[in-house]
Structure 1
Amino acid sequence: MGHHQGAPMPATLRHAFRARAHPARSVPCPHEPCHARAHQACIVRVNGRVMKDLHPARINLWERTVACCPECQVQPDIPCHNDGAPLAGTVHDRRIQEAKEILA
């Protein structure tokens, strides 16, 4: 007998199940060579192992996407900088705090 898929899960229930996951899973992973799609776990490409945590670059991307930075006064989606010099692959601590407050 074949497997029959039931009705799709309502969005409210799907959100509750995903609520345990880090919100950064909502963005794709920019880490080379992971590139996990949105809502999928990060993986180690060399052995295919699913990671318990997310790559730091993915968390930084999420923080940059959802929060303004009080430190360097940039809007969401704009990378943090120090006096015009971009921060390489990271964001200011104050932006991390801002992103956490958005979740609350």
Structure 2
Amino acid sequence: MTRKPGAPMSNTLRALIHSTATHPARTVTCPHCHAPAGKPCTLRTNGRLLPEPHPRRVSAWAQATAVCPECQTAPGAPCHDNGRPLRYVHDRRTTEAKETAA
């Protein structure tokens, strides 16, 4: 199948993006593409909607909702490595947030 620029979005992808079973990270604003809460992430280059949130949005959501089992920080506080704040959260915190949301 040849992909053409500006081709319409398939119905399958449209249904996935607009389904009611969205990723829980969509409850926070995306720090990467600035998609508002409740809206899907987009590509900054062409505005296409993404079926999954950006990794930074998932990290922001996990930070806002879960305690980190790795560094024991409370919801809202960034993960750290020996007192040095990390840009992303620990993988275990993301797992904890997903388990809590399920």
- TM tier relative to shorter chain: 0.7 to 0.9
The size of the alignment, in residue pairs, is 84
Report the equivalent of 1:102: 100
> CA–CA distance in 1 between the matches of 2:99 and 2:55?
19
Q: Percent identity among equivalent residues?
A: 52
Report the equivalent of 2:48: 49
Amino acid of the structure 1 residue aligned with 2:90: H
Q: Using the TM superposition, give the Cα deviation of residue 45 of structure 1 relative to its aligned residue in structure 2, in angstroms.
A: 2.2
Structure ID, larger Rg: 1
Report the equivalent of 2:64: 65
Unaligned runs of 5+ in 1: 1-16
Misfit runs of 4+, over 6 Å: none
Amino acid of the structure 1 residue aligned with 2:29: P
Encode CA deviations 1:40-90: one digit per residue, 9 max, x unaligned: 0111122111112111000000001110012111100100001001112x1
Report the TM-score, using the length of structure 1 for normalisation. Answer: 0.75
Q: Using the TM superposition, give the Cα deviation of residue 103 of structure 1 relative to its aligned residue in structure 2, in angstroms.
A: 1.5
Report the TM-score, using the length of structure 2 for normalisation. Answer: 0.76
Counterpart contact for 2:28–2:61, Cα < 8 Å: yes
| Mean CA deviation greater in 74-83 or 44-53 | 44-53
> CA–CA distance in 1 between the matches of 2:22 and 2:99?
17
Amino acid of the structure 2 residue aligned with 1:91: V
Q: Does 1:36 align with 2:46?
A: no
Alignment RMSD, CA only? 1.2
Counterpart contact for 2:41–2:53, Cα < 8 Å: yes
Amino acid of the structure 2 residue aligned with 1:81: H
Unaligned runs of 5+ in 2: 1-18
